[in-house]
Amino acid sequence: MLSKRKKRSDRNHIIYRLENIHTGDIYIGISAISRTPKMALKERFRRHVSKAIHENKNWKLHKLLRKYPDSLDWEMDIIGKIRGRKNAHQMERIIIGEYSPTLNTF
C-alpha cells in the first residue's frame, strides 16, 4: 500500500509574470520549483494552457490562453524566488497589488 506523502511547505517557489504580447494583459502567479526555476515556469505555463483547453472555465486568463495558446504569444518572466508556500502566497498578493494584473480576476 502506497502512503501519501505530505507536501513540503518549505520548498522554493517562483513568482512569475505572464504578459500577452498581443493585448498587453498580465497575469501574476506562483509555482513550486521542482528542478530549475526556468523549467518550473515552462511547466506551469503548459499546465495553464491544458486547463484552459480542457476545463472550459470562463476565467479571463483561460479565455486568452484559448485564443493564444502558443508560448511565443506570451512574455514569461520570473519575478522572484521565495522559500516556503506561505511566504510565496503572501509575496504574490503584494506583487499583484503592485502590478494590478488584468488576468488575475475571474
Q: What is the CATH number of the domain that holds 77?
A: 3.40.1440.10
**Total-model pTM:** 0.87
pLDDT at 1 over 60: no
Looking at every residue in the chain, the average pLDDT score rounds to 92
Does residue 4 lie within any of the structural domains?
no
* Parent domain of 44: 12-99
User: Is 106 among the domain residues?
Assistant: no
State how many domains the chain has: 1
Mean pLDDT of 49-64: 94
User: Does 1 fall in a domain?
Assistant: no
In angstroms, the CA 90 to CA 86 distance is 6
Q: Give tens-digit pLDDT for 28-55.
A: 999 999 889 999 999 999 999 999 999 9
Is residue 105 in some structural domain?
no
- Which residues make Cβ contacts (< 8 Å) with residue 82, sequence separation at least 6? 12, 13, 14, 15, 30, 88, 91
Residue 87 domain-assigned? yes
